[in-house]
Structure 1
Amino acid sequence: MIFDKKILKSYIVPNSETKGSSPILRNPEDIETLEFKELSDLRTIYDVFWKSVREAPNNDFLGYRPFNEETRKFMPYQFISYKDASIIAENFGAGVVQVKLDRLKRSGATEKEIEETQARNWPVGIYSANRPEWQIIDKGLCTQSLYSVALYDTLGKTAYEYIVNHSSTTMIVCTLDKIPKILLSSSRIPNVKTIICIDPFTESNYVTNNDPTLTIPSPFNIKSVNILKSWAKQLDIDLYDFNEIQEIGKQSRIPHFPPKPENIYTLLYTSGTTGNPKGVISTHENYASAAVSTYLSRGFQMDNDDIFLSYLPLPHAYGRTTENYMIVMKGKIGYYSGNVGRIVEDLHALQPTYFAGVPRLLNRFYDVLTAKTINLPGKEGEICRKAVQEKISNLHKGLGVNHKKWDELIFNKTKAMISSKLRQINTGSAPLEPRVCDFLIVSLICKITEGYAMSETSSTGIMQQGVYISNGDTGIPFHGVEVKLIDIPEMNYLVTDLPLARGEVCMRGKNIFGGYLKDPEKTKEALIGDGWIASGDVAQINLDGTISIIDRKKSIFKMAQGVYISPEKIENVLIKHPLILQAFVTGQSVKEYLVGVIVPDPETFIPWAKKLIQSQTHTNTESYSFETLVKNNLVKNTLLADIESICRETGLNGFEIIKNLYLEHKPFDVETNGILTPTMKLKRFDAIRYYAKIIDQLYNENN
């Protein structure tokens, strides 16, 4: 294995290389030990929260935008302090314990059942979009050593029922619109005996930061509430609202019951690409370690004046760890107004200093900002293009992101469209195109870092650190995390490959989960011994000690000629084509070639396709729709030929190039066709089923 010591960014642990495994990589600050040099007293999420409450009680903590019924608009952000949130949280946690005990005593429970409840460490479901109460509930449960089970709709219509039953959840905290759904499915989730509504049951207390068009009843309907209460009573389900639980907790005077590091903090269900969701068991140590590690790995100092916009779903590890990190910072968290279409408006209203997103959203920022700059017609667009080119050139020369002339003329204005205070964007879940990344850095005058992690690693693992420009890597290990690669002989990825070691990414540290709930087989597949987790992702270690994700192990399949195919590797090449938005590549074990389903990018594809047809057939295409253009054979065959050229240029083998394609005008998504996971990964087997007839048709055409 070759490293360039002059530019080495990771620490290579001496004599750690073994047969089939690369040397172990660490953060350069972790040469002597993986123990944290700072904040070592934060061993649980309870510690994380209550330390910030003690040290910054009057700091603004959680904010939302109330909806004004008269103007039909969202108002400016309103915040509550750390101290006020802590009072609500501890009362809520005590109230949850009290109503569970009351229910058990009322129903004639055994002494053992009551003792088990008093011993804590039992689950409570949270079924809500991001809002301040989500965070308060989470921290309230921590005060009583209870753990959250995250419920959400995007896993599928019946997935929440599976999660409730699989996790043995008896109590669900949810928004008003979820109650009818829970009551309707009560016969299929018989363990649920208590529902706590986050929205108050009294009109005078009713406020929401969620889009009223998405709430049932909207925004408040006392008659509907009474119907729900009556319905729940008939089903022998206790129904409370948030304020009632707080008051019960206040009156109960139940003291804090702090968790130990080894106690469960949360049960997150990964969407997965096949089968039922897997319950990731994560402890307080896992997530406290993740929050501190994120703080230590940021690459520049943030402080308690920092502000973060919450929109990443809290049922996901990425969203949870990011918010816990902000609590370590004693910073502000403002919640989005419930609709991703209003994210830019929310950002402008909140003026955050820090934003964590995914490439899909950052691509939207790119579209908005390029429309106002480099894509403008005439002289104005020409000036903007010159400014962007000059700033990107300076950026890659190491001259930083600031440019007095161009910032004053152009980029202070583009930055203000998102947030004038923005200092850093973090992105994960998928690669961000370098051209998009460079443009956003110079137009928003901020740092952008990419990272790689998993739910099973509490959303910490590998991240770009310090001020440098990415060359397509995802960075170096977080503080407290070790990384190595292991051989995947069936894919011909070996740690002995030259010049760069390649193999499956494995990680180790206090952030690594304890296993999958009630699934020893899958736990054994993931936890491979000595504290290591095998990720299922393929990476290479670069000359400078950074790590680049290059492939996915779990999606490989064998073709008729005996070669193994990694469709994700091919898809990652295809989606870099300017005309392609999404790609799905597949094959069959009885066939010797691949086919694909391609979703073109309408912004670039429509004008290109119209121009192509006009130039080749002299047809007026002005009225041609997107749907009409994707069905055109000339368009399809021209794009297929272009794809072949690009695939060969990037070094793909002949058997890795698709020989036929279907152009799809409907994007892959979570809800409509259900072939993406909530983290926007392709559910490959669902896609195969969804496009089964089309795949057969593509093979029949070629035959």
Structure 2
Amino acid sequence: MRNRNSFYCIFHLYTIITWPVYFLVQKPWKAKANHNKLKSVALMHGDDFVLHRSVSDISDVHVRFIQDKIDTMEKVFRFAVRQHGQKAAVGTREILAEEDEIQPNGRIFKKFVLGSYQWRTFTQMDNEAESFGRGLRELGINAKENVVLFAETRAEWLIASNGCMKQNMPLVTLYATLGEDALIHGINETEVSCVVTSQELLPKFKNILPCTPNVTVLVVFEDAIKPLDLAGYGDVVKILPYREVIRLGEMSSKTGLLPKPEDTAFVMYTSGSTGPPKGVLMSHENVMSSMLAYTNVAVIFESDVYMAYLPLAHVLELIGESMCMLYGIPIGYSNPLTMTDNSSKIKRGSKGDASVLKPTIIACVPLILDRIYKSIQEKVESGSAVKKSLFNLAVQYKLDWFQRGYDTPIINSVLFRPVRAILGGRIRFILAGGAPLAPETHRCLRAALCCPVLQGYGLTETCSATTMMDFYDRSTGITGGPLSCCDIKLVNWDEGNYRVTDRPYPRGEIHVGGPNVAVGYFKQPEKTKEEFYEENGRRWFRTGDIGEFRPEGNLQIVDRKKDLVKLQYGEYVSLGKVESELKTCSLIDNVCVYADPTKMFVVALVMPNPDHLKSISMKSGISWNNIEDICLNSQMEKVYLTEIQKHGLKCRLEKFEIPQAIKLISEIWTPDMGLVTAAFKLKRKNIQDRYQLLIDRMYS
């Protein structure tokens, strides 16, 4: 308590000394005015809808692209090469060795010994992309033939994609984390003959090649230190190293076949966690519209450096890296296993990627930000009581003054320097997307990392672009105003009691309309017709998300129309699908799965089968008095959880779909209780309201 009072006195003295200077230099009234400025306006009101449009100006880059008719992604790349030819474009850390490191418990972990970043210039990248595209032509791949890219984020991914665009070959992107069934589905549905993958992922094809009869060519990005082993793949499919395709292209005389704005640029597959993954058809015009809209809100300098590690199969990362090329910003590649000094693959005493690269911009999903937040909290908690008290007071002090329009440069430099060093010490802003960001995480990181954390909202079907916070917005829990490429319409959803007449703010299902809205779903005309529509010459997409517009024109996501929830790392979980699989378990009479979008796993409320419950209690030596008591027994919960998880794996559920905590419910859900319909379908909202305390306990 004495230390805390001393710190209060120090902060009070600091305020007295610095406030007059900060008032004159920082002009907090301007910061507050920028925070409160209008982001969008309601253009149209109907009985069942309200339509909002951005009021932001378009950038000089945007104007130039319109004037110069730069209307395809291939033209963007050509523009970048002309503008930034000899500048560093893409960089990869040199892997010097892989060594065994013995842990205190005796276990041995493989660790990397990494060197410096090795850079390709824009001109070198262009030559490599040109050769790769021609190499594919030499292998018999023609214009408008789909090519699958199934690899981790790396420089070769971006180069290969640009090489394909130079030959008007649409890219089919599949997440490197997809299971075999989803991978087979994507390859067969798009009827590709060529798959580009990495040496690390190549072994998957030993199992799936018999199920993908159209595939005749596999191109492999080689590993930096391990030799490429091609044994066991048969002789039906030709397997070539990436460098061999480049060599073929260098000797080729074939010319480029340039795409048009309406041609398909990407068939971007979703993660597939709600059944077979859907391929979203994106034209060059769609992607261009999205990217140019971001140029209207992004503040980018020539000295910026971008750290890339999110999947390039995710549209957010693809747009981010495309913008870096446009502005001539170097892209340094990383991954979560080598990002920081304490990452799991970094040898003890070595530097992580962020410490070497010192990026100024990164894009993050909430899972990564939550990990950073937790690591900060753990470090604070493990320190002395004095350091803990000082840090917490500093964060709260900064947040209080931040809301008044002030920054705290001395505190930033003295107290938060070690925190900023986690990401290299130079981060200027962080883009957050892919799932909702918990407000507490948002506030803490904005204070401790001393930079804006800009949350956005977008979908694959809108090519990532829908809304984004601007640099002056000091809010949490909102996703910013609409981007200039689209209008946002809130439409009544009567079933969920969300209406545009709601007070204090209009609410409804979010529909997005504009040139950034995708063409539709690949080979799924009925699904396309269900989700997309044309109105007044504009293409619209029904998101299924429920939003509300705040007075300043910011959008806030408040609910989800379907039982589809996006978890912290961006995986979609279909609650109904998981429940239908778990209900096939003989131990369960009924189950309600719940997913908090700010968490990385699901939990479940389980109505156990009484006979099986009694049988298990006897086998486990748990005394049986009545069903109410046994459902409260923590040992029984553990037994049930283990069995449910085994059943989930047997049903081939993904790890993030399998409940990591359960609560046994002794009540029988009936229509009279209002927890199920007359047809015994779950009323999720009612169940959540009734058992909210149990749900909170499961997540804690």
Please tell me the TM-score bracket, short chain as reference: 0.7 to 0.9
Which of 349, 363, 368 is residue 361 of structure 1 equivalent to? 368
Match of 2:603 in 1: none
**Runs (5+) with no aligned partner, structure 2:** 1-32, 100-111, 344-351, 600-627, 674-700
How far did 1:338 drift?
A: 6.8
Partners of 1:374 and 1:385 within 8 A in 2: no
CA distance in structure 2 between the aligned counterparts of 1:495 and 1:171, rounded to whole angstroms: 49
The amino acid that maps onto 1:393 is D
Q: Does 1:12 align with 2:19?
A: no
Note the alpha carbon deviations across 1:198-226, whole angstroms, 9 max, x for none.
21xxxxxx626xxxxxxxxxx125xx33x
Which of 102, 111, 126 is residue 86 of structure 1 equivalent to? 126
Note the alpha carbon deviations across 1:565-606, whole angstroms, 9 max, x for none.
xxx69x99xxxxxxxxx9989999x9999856699x99xxxx
How far did 1:636 drift?
A: 9.6
Which of 92, 95, 106 is residue 64 of structure 1 equivalent to? 92
CA distance in structure 2 between the aligned counterparts of 1:431 and 1:664, rounded to whole angstroms: 27
Match of 2:63 in 1: 37
How far did 1:662 drift?
A: 11
Match of 1:611 in 2: none
Match of 2:204 in 1: 181
Give secondary structure in 2 for the equivalent of 1:551. strand
Give secondary structure in 1 for the equivalent of 2:362. strand
How far did 1:382 drift?
A: 1.6
Give secondary structure in 2 for the equivalent of 1:287. helix
CA distance in structure 2 between the aligned counterparts of 1:667 and 1:49, rounded to whole angstroms: 50
Q: Does 1:518 align with 2:523?
A: yes
Partners of 1:596 and 1:662 within 8 A in 2: no
CA distance in structure 2 between the aligned counterparts of 1:426 and 1:674, rounded to whole angstroms: 36
How far did 1:315 drift?
A: 1.1
Match of 1:389 in 2: 396
Give secondary structure in 1 for the equivalent of 2:416. helix
Match of 1:630 in 2: none
The amino acid that maps onto 2:435 is A
Q: Does 1:291 align with 2:288?
A: no
The amino acid that maps onto 2:541 is I
Match of 2:429 in 1: 424
Note the alpha carbon deviations across 1:395-429, whole angstroms, 9 max, x for none.
111113x331x223211222112221100001112
Q: Does 1:403 align with 2:401?
A: no
Match of 1:643 in 2: none
Give secondary structure in 2 for the equivalent of 1:379. helix
How far did 1:49 drift?
A: 1.0
Moved more, 499-508 or 343-352: 343-352
Which of 533, 538, 546 is residue 538 of structure 1 equivalent to? 546
Q: Does 1:320 align with 2:318?
A: yes
Give secondary structure in 1 for the equivalent of 2:488. strand
How far did 1:38 drift?
A: 4.5
Give secondary structure in 2 for the equivalent of 1:267. strand
How far did 1:28 drift?
A: 3.2
The amino acid that maps onto 1:90 is E
Match of 1:203 in 2: none
1:581-660 pair list within 5 angstroms: none
Note the alpha carbon deviations across 1:82-114, whole angstroms, 9 max, x for none.
11011000010011012116xxxxxxxxxxxxx
Gap change, CA 1:197 and 1:6, over 3 Å in 2: closer
The amino acid that maps onto 1:463 is M
CA distance in structure 1 between the aligned counterparts of 2:277 and 2:523, rounded to whole angstroms: 12
Partners of 2:338 and 2:353 within 8 A in 1: no
The amino acid that maps onto 1:84 is Q
How far did 1:304 drift?
A: 3.2
Match of 1:629 in 2: none
Match of 1:615 in 2: none
Gap change, CA 1:34 and 1:285, over 3 Å in 2: farther
Which of 467, 472, 497 is residue 492 of structure 1 equivalent to? 497
Gap change, CA 1:258 and 1:191, over 3 Å in 2: same
CA distance in structure 1 between the aligned counterparts of 2:376 and 2:187, rounded to whole angstroms: 43
Note the alpha carbon deviations across 1:251-275, whole angstroms, 9 max, x for none.
1122222211111111111125532
Give secondary structure in 2 for the equivalent of 1:96. helix
Moved more, 346-355 or 146-155: 146-155
Give secondary structure in 1 for the equivalent of 2:359. coil
RMSD of aligned alpha carbons: 4.1
Give secondary structure in 1 for the equivalent of 2:455. strand
The amino acid that maps onto 2:216 is K
Which of 172, 175, 188 is residue 165 of structure 1 equivalent to? 188
Give secondary structure in 2 for the equivalent of 1:239. strand
Match of 2:481 in 1: 476
How far did 1:525 drift?
A: 1.4
1:114-193 pair list within 5 angstroms: 117=142, 120-193=143-216
CA distance in structure 2 between the aligned counterparts of 1:181 and 1:513, rounded to whole angstroms: 30
Q: Does 1:282 align with 2:282?
A: yes
Aligned length: 571
How far did 1:176 drift?
A: 2.2
Match of 1:507 in 2: 512
Note the alpha carbon deviations across 1:161-197, whole angstroms, 9 max, x for none.
1100001111011112433432432221100011112
Q: Name the % identity.
A: 25
Q: Does 1:271 align with 2:271?
A: yes
TM, length-normalised to structure 2: 0.73
The amino acid that maps onto 1:445 is C
CA distance in structure 2 between the aligned counterparts of 1:382 and 1:9, rounded to whole angstroms: 38
CA distance in structure 1 between the aligned counterparts of 2:98 and 2:151, rounded to whole angstroms: 26
The amino acid that maps onto 2:48 is G
Match of 1:46 in 2: 74
How far did 1:341 drift?
A: 7.2
CA distance in structure 2 between the aligned counterparts of 1:303 and 1:341, rounded to whole angstroms: 23
CA distance in structure 2 between the aligned counterparts of 1:665 and 1:190, rounded to whole angstroms: 39
Gap change, CA 1:18 and 1:667, over 3 Å in 2: farther
Moved more, 49-58 or 286-295: 286-295
CA distance in structure 2 between the aligned counterparts of 1:252 and 1:62, rounded to whole angstroms: 25
Give secondary structure in 2 for the equivalent of 1:483. strand
Match of 1:446 in 2: 451
Give secondary structure in 2 for the equivalent of 1:65. strand
The amino acid that maps onto 1:303 is F
How far did 1:8 drift?
A: 5.4
The amino acid that maps onto 1:487 is N
Which of 31, 55, 58 is residue 83 of structure 2 equivalent to? 55
How far did 1:668 drift?
A: 10
CA distance in structure 2 between the aligned counterparts of 1:696 and 1:443, rounded to whole angstroms: 40
Partners of 2:468 and 2:480 within 8 A in 1: yes
Gap change, CA 1:638 and 1:158, over 3 Å in 2: closer
Partners of 1:304 and 1:332 within 8 A in 2: no
TM, length-normalised to structure 1: 0.73
**Runs (5+) with no aligned partner, structure 1:** 102-116, 200-205, 209-218, 557-567, 573-581, 603-632, 640-659
Q: Does 1:333 align with 2:320?
A: no
Gap change, CA 1:502 and 1:8, over 3 Å in 2: farther
Gap change, CA 1:179 and 1:261, over 3 Å in 2: same
The amino acid that maps onto 2:372 is F
Match of 1:462 in 2: 467
Give secondary structure in 2 for the equivalent of 1:220. coil
Give secondary structure in 2 for the equivalent of 1:268. strand
The amino acid that maps onto 1:555 is D
How far did 1:393 drift?
A: 0.8
CA distance in structure 1 between the aligned counterparts of 2:264 and 2:400, rounded to whole angstroms: 49
Give secondary structure in 1 for the equivalent of 2:262. coil
Q: Does 1:207 align with 2:233?
A: no
Partners of 1:297 and 1:465 within 8 A in 2: yes
Partners of 2:173 and 2:269 within 8 A in 1: yes
Q: Does 1:371 align with 2:394?
A: no
How far did 1:490 drift?
A: 0.9
Runs of 4+ more than 4 Å apart: 4-8, 33-36, 340-344, 582-588, 590-599, 633-639, 660-669, 671-678, 694-703
CA distance in structure 1 between the aligned counterparts of 2:243 and 2:305, rounded to whole angstroms: 28
